[in-house]
């Protein structure tokens, strides 16, 4: 048995270096011609042709997308790489994930894995693979399994709502994602947190030919249940929805929308989305599809009209008019053109989807949140959109490429610079390697007061109208002469032919990209600044953690297996900085390892260090390499590591180790066989057998006792169930006690949260019916008591006033139900809006309420803006600093309002009083509040009279007038031919009153 263990150990210690002659070099650092890009490409191609898609550059992992299944991500593969030294097995993403995990556990610090590359290079799959590895390798309990399942299933949900088919990738991430996986001190995954960046909301309303909208739309239409689609008003046909067919590829053979729909439904359930949350979520998704089918046409006057039914009359107003509020709180509507209305429709759709996605991420974070407050270590996974260049590159593409530029700068800071600093820390002399620092490009975009984003901010805030072209002119003025910026105006004659007048071109680290400012580029000020701040925050997060890198490459544009496009791959190798990274790693020394690791692997090669070395690791390594005959120019001893200059030196050491380990296995096996011959082995075997027998007997007796007890309990339970409806006795007492306890326990976890909840109370068993009634009453009283105790004196007054409003108008005035949800708390006095001179005159009476109104002349009905003020003694009609009319409450006969949805009121006063000027005809936006206030002030709740059709009022003694009320499709106020004031109100219209 022990011999087999040693054999497995040596087999697992098969180093990647021993496979160098079989398929290329597994670590580019060991490449002899390390400065040759051709040699680099040859090695990469050779391994790709043998389905070896992973290669190291030190601890950096280079991954080439194979565009086919390779069977290298199985549970067996995970077990092989779990707990093994990073360089002992062939390169694999499992090796990197395991090394990050074990380093985090041993050093108790935080790490992150940056996965970068072009769209379609395999970044998302790499991120999922790392997550699956941690789900398998971490300690497991029932609680931890729930966390693991949520971490894993957050991926399909985020992919459904944030990924889409593009020309380069069938599952392209259209948002940036950073996930922190939280581990406790034992290495168990106990929680997580997700940050999302710059969702490509423009895809909701527009897709290029050959591309699709976000997956979830197609999954819902193709996979949603018939009942769900009927409830959402959808048809099972993507061709019916404008937002889904612009790319002309609603159905894709490589994507199974029905199967993905089931996966998303299962994931939402496990992530603990309630049924109500799921219903609301898909209702919003359906609303976006319906919104995309809203069609506008130009009227005879050139304004937008909605070609739809009256059911969406409110939508017509929202999308076809611009609304502003005047100084007197009245709405001013400006009609849109058809083009503006379409833009408003699309902007609304993008805003709805963007906020829904943010809500979704927050909901997932709530499910992943770790409730334990003890210190945790984390491993971050950053899967960010790749650098892309399209025929037309918009503002969103500008942000995406800027993000990649920042990540490249981070790569330079954390990797290339730190690699050079390692030699200095180890005390090793070497010559620095120059590399391109893209800080100049990052500053071009984000530098304060001088960068593109700052110029965009300034241009949008300057006086006058800012346009796309004024923004471009400002860029040309500020950026003139910059080596990485050019426009049509600034370019030389040859370059000018490739640029439109609305374009500017940036020379990124990954190549040239031409951006078009045409199409609302200047309106993206807030988004640009927020995105810049988000990237700064992300950089701060990453700078506090230890970095690890996965560089993903696309072998071809066609997503074709076994096809390696040299030109395309060479371009990616160049802009990902792989050659610079390799040159820095090989600056003087090809190989470096900590003394402990080097000694552990090769100590069998020296009699002085095998099997146990008593001194320090550095001394052991020195003794070992002396025995191996290393020459002085072949290595250097640092403070904590050994540095080997040439790959051939390491290859020779590895070959010697291959021979040595076979000799060791033979010697161990021979010694073990000799041990078995001795009688000591037989004696120990007999002792072990006897101990095992006694232990098995003890376990069997315990099991028998446990089963006997279980049988007794089950019998008693069955007997109690049979006699459950009988009086309490020995036969059923324990069962009934269990029933009572079980019901009370379940009731405790499911108590109603409000008095209005009439359905949540659990149905009691017969024995608990009386107790249930009493408990329900007690619980209701407790809820009411808590609610009442939480209400302030002011709120009680407000509730009383609201009750009065309901008493007066409920069921009597047409627009009262719509006003209830909008009603205020009746706390506004209005003193701050009253002229100081008027305030001085009437303040002694005690001002109770003030509201702006429109007063219609009694002769001619000309509208005039006034202010209606209620004091303790009278009502005042005021024009700025002048009191126009005072109505004593003793002279107020009543107040008339119609039963329709208008906002008119007529104050009837006693005309015998010579000081009075007749009745008042007023229009008030805050009708219900004003009428309730006058009832409270006058202490006369019967003052209000609700009439139908027409109201008579006194112009002056002996002369009367009329106000006629009726309903129509639009609201109007005008003087009719019969001399009456005609008030037309829309039927059941939404009002901005209480």
Annotated catalytic residue 173: yes
Rounded CA-CA distance 531/509 in Å is 20
Last residue of a domain, one of 515, 530, 545: 530
Tell me: is residue 119 an annotated ligand-binding position. Answer: yes
Annotated catalytic residue 388: yes
Residues 843 and 980 in one domain: yes
The token pair at 350 is 């993008």
* pLDDT on residue 321: 52
Residue 129 has pLDDT above 50, yes or no: yes
In a domain, 397, yes or no: no
In a domain, 960, yes or no: yes
Residue 340 has pLDDT above 90, yes or no: no
Rounded CA-CA distance 43/852 in Å is 81
* pLDDT on residue 821: 55
How many helices (H) and strands (E) the chain has is answered by 31, 31
Catalytic residue among 173, 316, 404, 925: 173
* pLDDT on residue 774: 93
In a domain, 964, yes or no: yes
Tell me: is residue 487 an annotated ligand-binding position. Answer: no
Residue 391 has pLDDT above 70, yes or no: yes
What count of other Cβ atoms lies within 10 Å of the Cβ of residue 677?
Answer: 9
CATH code, domain carrying 623: 3.30.70.1590
Residue 967 has pLDDT above 50, yes or no: yes
The token pair at 116 is 């970068």
* pLDDT on residue 280: 94
Residue 8 has pLDDT above 50, yes or no: no
CATH code, domain carrying 895: 2.30.29.30
* pLDDT on residue 519: 66
Tell me: is residue 122 an annotated ligand-binding position. Answer: yes
Name which of 486-490, 515-519, 629-633 the model is least confident about: 515-519
More confident: 328 or 862? 862
Average the pLDDT over 873-891 and give the result.
Answer: 90
Catalytic residue among 119, 196, 649, 815: 119
CATH code, domain carrying 498: 1.20.58.530
* pLDDT on residue 255: 92
Catalytic residue among 159, 200, 222, 388: 388
Residues 673 and 743 in one domain: no
Tell me: is residue 127 an annotated ligand-binding position. Answer: no
Average the pLDDT over 33-48 and give the result.
Answer: 92
Residues 753 and 680 in one domain: no
Supply the mean pLDDT for the chain: 83
Of all residues in the chain, the percent with pLDDT exceeding 70 is: 88
In a domain, 465, yes or no: yes
* pLDDT on residue 329: 46
Residues 843 and 979 in one domain: yes
Residues 654 and 742 in one domain: no
Name which of 229-243, 283-297, 825-839 the model is least confident about: 825-839
Residue 934 has pLDDT above 60, yes or no: yes
Tell me: is residue 692 an annotated ligand-binding position. Answer: no
pLDDT, tens only, 651-689: 788 778 878 877 777 766 666 665 555 567 778 888 888
Name which of 114-118, 128-132, 299-303, 340-344 the model is least confident about: 299-303
Q: How many domains does the chain have?
A: 4
Residue 314 has pLDDT above 90, yes or no: no
Tell me: is residue 191 an annotated ligand-binding position. Answer: no
In a domain, 205, yes or no: no
Name which of 131-140, 258-267, 581-590 the model is least confident about: 581-590
Last residue of a domain, one of 666, 692, 718: 692
Rounded CA-CA distance 814/501 in Å is 58
The token pair at 666 is 């033979």
pLDDT bin (cut points 50, 70, 90) of residue 94 is very high
More confident: 884 or 655? 884
pLDDT bin (cut points 50, 70, 90) of residue 605 is confident
Residues 522 and 451 in one domain: yes
Whole-angstrom CA distances from 208 to 92, 246, 247, 390 are 36, 7, 5, 10
| Residue 322: its H or E element | strand 321-325
* pLDDT on residue 100: 93
Residues 517 and 605 in one domain: no
Catalytic residue among 43, 154, 169, 932: 169
More confident: 526 or 570? 570
pLDDT bin (cut points 50, 70, 90) of residue 990 is very low
379, 113 Cβ separation under 8 angstroms? yes
Residues 914 and 781 in one domain: no
Give the count of alpha carbons within 13 A of 218, CB side only.
26
Residues 740 and 669 in one domain: no
What is the secondary structure of 220-263 as a DSSP string?
Answer: HHHHS-HHHHHHHT--S-GGG-GGGSTTS-S--TT--HHHHHHH
Burial (0-12, 13-18, 19+ Cβ within 10 Å), 362: exposed
pLDDT bin (cut points 50, 70, 90) of residue 993 is very low
In a domain, 321, yes or no: no
Annotated catalytic residue 780: no
Domain with 647, as residue range(s), is 595-692
Average the pLDDT over 784-797 and give the result.
Answer: 81
* pLDDT on residue 504: 92
The token pair at 428 is 């090793």
pLDDT, tens only, 513-547: 999 888 655 556 767 777 788 888 888 888 888 88
pLDDT bin (cut points 50, 70, 90) of residue 324 is very low
Residues 686 and 738 in one domain: no
pLDDT bin (cut points 50, 70, 90) of residue 6 is very low
DSSP helix/strand/coil, 822 = coil
Of all residues in the chain, the percent with pLDDT exceeding 90 is: 31
Residues 614 and 473 in one domain: no
Catalytic residue among 99, 129, 172, 993: 172
Least Cα distance to 442 among 341, 334, 536, 582 occurs for: 536
Catalytic residue among 15, 24, 58, 120: 120
In a domain, 672, yes or no: yes
Last residue of a domain, one of 789, 806, 824: 789
pLDDT, tens only, 701-752: 999 999 999 998 899 889 888 888 888 888 888 888 998 999 999 988 889 9
More confident: 304 or 174? 174
pLDDT bin (cut points 50, 70, 90) of residue 341 is confident
Helix/strand/coil percent split, the chain, to 5: 50, 20, 35
In a domain, 797, yes or no: no
Tell me: is residue 451 an annotated ligand-binding position. Answer: no
Annotated catalytic residue 169: yes
Residues 785 and 852 in one domain: no
Residue 328 has pLDDT above 60, yes or no: no
Catalytic residue among 55, 124, 438, 815: 124
Annotated catalytic residue 124: yes
Residue 420 has pLDDT above 80, yes or no: no
Tell me: is residue 118 an annotated ligand-binding position. Answer: yes
- What pTM did the predictor assign? 0.61
| Residue 191: its H or E element | strand 189-197
Annotated catalytic residue 377: no
């Amino acid at each position: 048995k022990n011999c087999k263990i040693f054999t497995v150990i040596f087999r697992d210690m098969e180093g990647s270096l021993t496979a160098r002659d079989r398929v290329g070099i597994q670590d580019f650092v060991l490449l002899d011609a390390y400065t040759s890009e051709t040699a680099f490409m040859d090695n990469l191609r050779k391994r790709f042709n043998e389905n070896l898609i992973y290669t190291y550059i030190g601890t950096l992992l280079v991954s080439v997308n194979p565009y086919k299944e390779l069977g290298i991500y199985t549970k067996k593969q995970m077990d092989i790489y779990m707990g093994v030294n990073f360089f002992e097995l062939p390169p694999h993403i499992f090796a990197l994930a395991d090394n990050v995990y074990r380093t985090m556990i041993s050093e108790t610090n935080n790490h992150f894995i940056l996965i970068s590359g072009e769209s379609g290079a395999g970044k998302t799959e790499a991120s999922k693979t790392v997550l699956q590895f941690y789900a398998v390798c971490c300690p497991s309990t029932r609680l931890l399994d729930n966390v693991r399942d949520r971490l894993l299933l957050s991926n399909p949900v985020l992919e459904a709502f944030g990924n889409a088919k593009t020309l380069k990738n069938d599952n392209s991430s259209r948002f940036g994602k950073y996930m922190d996986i939280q581990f406790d001190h034992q290495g168990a995954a106990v929680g997580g947190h997700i940050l999302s960046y710059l969702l490509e909301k423009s895809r909701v309303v527009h897709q290029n030919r050959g591309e699709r909208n976000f997956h979830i739309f197609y999954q819902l239409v193709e996979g949603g249940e018939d009942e769900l689609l009927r409830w959402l008003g959808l048809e099972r046909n993507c061709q019916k929805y404008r937002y889904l067919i612009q790319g002309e590829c609603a159905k894709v053979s490589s994507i199974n929308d029905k199967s993905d729909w089931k996966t998303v439904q299962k994931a939402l359930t496990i992530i603990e989305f309630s049924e109500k949350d799921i219903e609301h979520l898909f209702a919003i998704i359906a609303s976006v599809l319906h919104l995309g089918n809203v069609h506008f046409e130009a009227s005879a006057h050139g304004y937008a009209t909605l070609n739809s039914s009256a059911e969406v009359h409110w939508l017509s107003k929202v999308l076809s008019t611009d609304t502003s509020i005047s100084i007197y709180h009245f709405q001013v509507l400006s009609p849109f053109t058809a083009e503006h209305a379409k833009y408003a429709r699309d902007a609304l759709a993008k805003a709805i989807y963007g906020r829904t996605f943010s809500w979704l991420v927050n909901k997932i974070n709530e499910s992943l949140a770790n409730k334990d407050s003890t210190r945790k270590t984390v491993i971050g996974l950053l899967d960010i959109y790749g650098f892309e260049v399209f025929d037309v590159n918009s503002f969103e593409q500008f942000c995406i490429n800027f993000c990649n530029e920042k990540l490249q700068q981070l790569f330079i800071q954390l990797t290339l610079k730190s690699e050079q600093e390692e030699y200095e820390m180890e005390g090793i002399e070497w010559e620095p390697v120059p590399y391109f620092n893209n800080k100049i490009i990052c500053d071009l975009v984000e530098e304060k007061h001088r960068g593109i984003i700052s110029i965009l901010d300034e241009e949008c805030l300057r006086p006058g109208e800012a346009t796309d072209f004024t923004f471009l002119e400002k860029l040309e003025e500020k950026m003139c002469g910059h080596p990485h910026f050019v426009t049509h105006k600034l370019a030389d004659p040859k370059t000018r032919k490739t640029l439109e007048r609305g374009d500017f071109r940036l020379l990124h680290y990954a190549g040239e990209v031409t951006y078009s400012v045409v199409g609302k580029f200047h309106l993206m000020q807030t988004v640009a600044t927020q995105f810049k701040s988000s990237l700064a925050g992300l950089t701060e997060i990453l700078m506090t953690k230890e970095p690890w890198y996965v560089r993903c490459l696309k072998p071809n544009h066609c997503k074709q297996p076994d096809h390696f496009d040299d030109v395309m791959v060479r371009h990616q190798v160049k802009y990902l900085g792989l050659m610079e990274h390799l040159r820095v790693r090989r600056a003087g020394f090809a190989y470096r390892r900590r003394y402990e690791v080097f000694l552990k692997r090769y100590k069998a090669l020296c009699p002085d260090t095998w099997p146990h070395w008593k001194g320090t690791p550095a001394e052991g390594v020195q003794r070992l390499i002396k025995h191996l005959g290393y020459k002085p120019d072949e290595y250097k001893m640092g403070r904590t590591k050994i540095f080997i200059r040439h790959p051939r030196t390491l290859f020779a050491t590895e070959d010697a180790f291959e021979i040595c380990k076979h000799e060791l296995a033979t010697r161990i096996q021979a010694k073990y066989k000799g041990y078995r011959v001795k009688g000591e082995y037989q004696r120990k075997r007999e002792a072990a057998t006897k101990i095992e027998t006694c232990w098995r007997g003890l376990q069997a007796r315990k099991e028998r006792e446990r089963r006997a007890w279980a049988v007794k309990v089950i019998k008693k339970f069955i007997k109690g169930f049979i006699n459950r409806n009988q009086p309490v006795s020995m036969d059923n007492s324990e069962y009934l006690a269990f029933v009572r306890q079980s019901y009370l326990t379940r009731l405790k976890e499911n108590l109603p949260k409000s008095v209005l909840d009439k359905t949540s109370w659990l149905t009691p068993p017969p024995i608990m019916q009386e107790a249930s009634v009493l408990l329900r009453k007690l619980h209701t009283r407790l809820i009411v008591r808590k609610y009442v105790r939480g209400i302030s004196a002011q709120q009680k007054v407000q509730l009383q006033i609201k009750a009065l409003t309901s008493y007066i108008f409920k069921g009597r005035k047409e627009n009262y139900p719509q006003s209830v949800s909008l009603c205020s708390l009746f706390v506004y006095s209005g003193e701050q809006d009253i002229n100081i001179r008027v305030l001085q005159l009437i303040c002694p009476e005690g001002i109770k309420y003030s509201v702006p109104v429109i007063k219609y002349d009694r002769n001619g009905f000309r509208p005039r803006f006034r202010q209606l003020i209620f004091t303790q003694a009278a009502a005042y009609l005021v024009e700025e600093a002048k009191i126009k009319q005072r109505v004593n409450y003793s002279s107020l006969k009543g107040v008339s309002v119609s039963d329709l949805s208008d906002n008119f009121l007529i104050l009837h006063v006693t005309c015998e009083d010579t000081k009075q000027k007749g009745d008042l005809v007023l229009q008030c936006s805050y009708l219900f509040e004003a009428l309730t206030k006058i009832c409270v002030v006058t202490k006369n709740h019967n003052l209000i009279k609700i009439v139908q059709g027409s109201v008579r009022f006194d112009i002056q003694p002996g002369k009367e007038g009329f106000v006629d009320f009726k309903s129509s499709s639009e609201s109007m106020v005008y003087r009719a031919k019969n001399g009456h004031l005609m008030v037309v109100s829309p039927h059941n219209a939404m009002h901005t009153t209480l």
